[in-house]
Amino acid sequence: MENLETVPLEDTHERQYHSNILNATLNDNLTNFGQEASPSVREVNFEFLEAEQEGAAPEERFLEQSSVYRRFSGWLLRWLLRIPTPLRYFTHLTLFLVILGVLSAAVIFLVDLSVHWLEVFRVWISSSNFGGYFIGFIFYFLTALLLCLLSTFACQALGKEAEGSGIPQMKSILSGFYDREKDALKLRVLGAKSLGLICAIGGGLPVGWEGPNVHIACIISHQLSRLPFFRFIRRDKSLRLQMIGAACAVGLASSFGAPIGGVLYSLETTASFYIVRTFWKATAATVSGALIYKLLYDTPLVEAFQKTTFDVGVVDPTEIVLFALLGILMGCAGSLFVYCVHQVYRIRMKKLPLTSRYILVGIVASIAAILQYPVELFRLDPRMAINELFSSETLRVLSPLQVFLLLVVKFPLVVVSVGLPIPAGVFVPSFLLGSCFGRLYGELLKLIFGDIIVPGGYAVVAAASFTTGVTRALSCAVIIFEVTGQLRHLVPTLIAVLFAFVTGNIFNRSLYDTLIIMKGIPYMPYMRKDVTPDMEVSQVMIKECVRIPEFSSSASLRHILQSYPEFACFPVVDEKGYLLGAVKRRSLLHLLHESWKSFQVGGEYGDNEEFPASSGQTTFDEDDDGDEEELSIHSSMDHRLGASFVSSSNTNITTTTNGDPKHSSSDSHLVVQVPRDVSPLFVTEYTKLSRVHFLFVMLMPKCAYVVNNGKLVGVVTRSTIVECGGSGGGGPFSSSSG
């Protein structure tokens, strides 16, 4: 009897990595056997099977045919195999993280630099010296209108997934809906996001860039994982999601130069749960991104946040009450902001559902240009105003009246702009609005209590607490510490942020959860135990589900594949209905292809004989993405079939004129044994829904089969769980972060 070696669970990624490296390289260097189908196979039009089986992108097939690429792959494999596996895995992964941080920070800086030069150009062309006040206004108005329309055009032409913040989509992906939202990670969306963001901010709309920057970093991470050298990341579902989580942190860290705050903020705003191993990966990536931020933003090319210069000392204990009151006020203001965003969107969808995106953006851009042109600072980079408001000295550029006007003008503009079909973040506008609130609050207290009050300190605390009231992220306090560079207001900031968080959760959800509901983005909600503590799976499961017998004829399998082209996985049962496992669509296609080839070439199986295609068992990762970028997801699939699976939009089953699958009579009754994964996720019909919800959150499966004494009686899917919650919070689940 062979000795069995026990492998620690912690080595899972290393073993998967080692296997993927070998498989990827061998696949690149070995010629696939049996790629060409025989003429007799082509006569029955089996090309759709080979098309789905290949699954390689054109550029990857070109690389496989390149002798230079093969030689490089062979050399790289030999070099990697000389390194011990744990060290090789760590080196490989660290290299990916460093490249991710550097590339993301560089792209974000280029976007910021482009915005800066657009603003400089618009200030120059609209200056009174250029042709008078009225002529300057005309130029300012026209450039604003043109740039904002170009922003929404870029999103419409290149990818509507680029619209909005980007954080809600990443939150959806990290909660298990990668298959539904992975179009948001395509390269064309990166172009749309970057160009749209440049034009939107450069055109004068008061939107932020931290959300779009997070989206940009995630796209870069996704595209890096497609490179052959980093293919092992793409083929490991858990590691792939960890890299997207790290990219979320990089996007924020590269926006403010706040690596620790970026990691914590991404954890709070995007993660349903957090894998501890992700923390060091996110930190490594954010540190590399923050270093690039430091190098680039220390140059005079763009405006950056300035360090504050408050006197070192302890805040007067009597001020703690004032800071706590400020936190409560900012929590109320933040929840009011979220409410206004939601109501504006609802009114727009109800009253103006068919209004062109260009009309909406054009109207808002025109109003913004008219309101912002009279005061020069209103038109400039918001970081300049924030630096002025954070100052420990008396206001020099802005007067208290102008601060009030800035607040009155910017608040409604930000509310309206966030819901427009353009790339739009909310972090920096929230910083600006909060600092305006805090500065006015501090100036008022200074009039009452005298010079003991430092208004700039209240602006800093209010910026963090208002942003917390909007996003419900306590890490805003850490970000403000890293941005300002001082800890004098550490305790007041933490107290105010905590009060703002609690106060905001009393009234409504966070802005990101609200955007998820507004735009119908799929997301696994939180369980509300106070509503349905005893609900069972049998009350929500889908009872009618397609199932495949263990021994099926090739004709019946073709008919199922043709009838349900959007599904990629089916339950396998025996003749009595007992669940035996599950089979992927790709496995069925491969099975039919191989069985037909063997039937044609060997001719050794009669029409009614069984064909032992496999041992009857196989293993797979039901969310394995591989290189199947051509796959797409149909949002209605869970209700039509009752099983949640990745769809294959490119499946093209040849049919006859009456709609039946086209196949020859010689193989109509060819019986094959269906290969299957013998360990799918299943629960009993009496399992509590709260427990199933926990399984879906932690394991992120597409579905769980429901059995009764071993017999398949239904299926519960991710969409079932989400729809039980509903968008109104009246069901057993809630999206509220509170």
Question: pTM for this one?
Answer: 0.78
pLDDT digits (tens, 9 = 90+) for 361-408: 999 999 999 998 887 778 777 888 888 888 877 777 778 888 898 999
To 10 degrees, what angle do helices 167-174 and 237-256 make?
A: 150
384 within 8 A of 303, measured Cβ to Cβ: yes
Domain with CATH 1.10.3080.10 in the chain: 88-297, 319-520
Instruction: Residue count of the chain, please give it.
Output: 738
Q: For the domain bounded by 88-297, which CATH number is listed?
A: 1.10.3080.10
Give the CA angle between residues 474, 319, 477 to the nearest 5°.
15
How many CB atoms neighbour CB 380 within 10 A? 17
Q: For residue 527, what are the contacts with CB-CB under 8 A and spacing of at least 6?
A: 690, 693, 694, 732, 733, 734
Q: What are phi and psi of 658, to 5 degrees?
A: -90, 5
pLDDT at 367: 93
CB 167, CB 215: distance < 8 Å: yes
| Closest residue by Cα to residue 554 from 446, 651, 673 | 673
Q: Read off φ and ψ for residue 147, nearest 5 degrees.
A: -65, -40
For residue 556, what are its two tokens? 């019946």
Q: At what angle do helices 427-449 and 382-389 cross, to 10 degrees?
A: 30
Contacts of 489 (CB under 8 A, 6+ apart): 310, 315, 457, 460, 461
Mean pLDDT for the stretch of residues 464-484: 92
Query: What type of residue is 245?
Result: G
Residue keyed to tokens 């940009």: 216
Higher pLDDT among residues 301 and 334, named by residue: 334
pLDDT at 103 over 70: yes
Tell me the longest C-alpha to C-alpha distance in the chain: 99
Confidence at residue 321, expressed as pLDDT on a 0 to 100 scale: 92
pLDDT at position 619, please?
39
- For residue 125, what are the contacts with CB-CB under 8 A and spacing of at least 6? 136, 139, 140, 143
CATH for the stretch 319-520: 1.10.3080.10
Least confident of 34-48, 65-79, 437-451, 598-612: 34-48
Nearest-angstrom CA–CA distance, 637 and 718: 11
* Alpha carbon distance 250, 285 (integer Å): 6
Is 647's pLDDT higher than 90?
A: no
Q: In this structure, which amino acid lies at residue 590?
A: H
Residue 387: per-residue pLDDT: 85
- According to the model, what pLDDT value does residue 251 have? 93
- Residue 392 near residue 177, CB atoms below 8 Å: no
Beta pairing partners, 672: 552, 611
3-state percent breakdown (helix, strand, coil) of the chain, nearest 5: 60, 5, 30
Helix (H, G, I), strand (E, B) or coil at 691: helix
Place of tokens 């009597």: 318
Query: What's the rounded Cα separation, in Å, for the pair 339 and 216?
Result: 27
- For residue 540, give every residue at least 6 positions away whose Cβ sits within 8 Å of its Cβ, in sequence order, or none: 689, 716, 720, 721, 724
Within the chain, which residue ranges are assigned CATH 3.10.580.10?
A: 537-655+664-734
Decide which of 599 and 692 is more confident: 692
What is the CATH topology of the domain spanning 537-655+664-734? CBS-domain (3.10.580)
Tokens standing for residue 649? 């939009």
Return d(Cα 418, Cα 401) in angstroms, integer.
Answer: 26
Give residue-wise pLDDT tens across range 165-221.
899 999 989 888 888 888 999 999 999 999 999 999 999 999 988 899 999 999 999
Strand partners, 714: 706
Residue 683 and residue 681: Cα distance in Å, rounded? 7
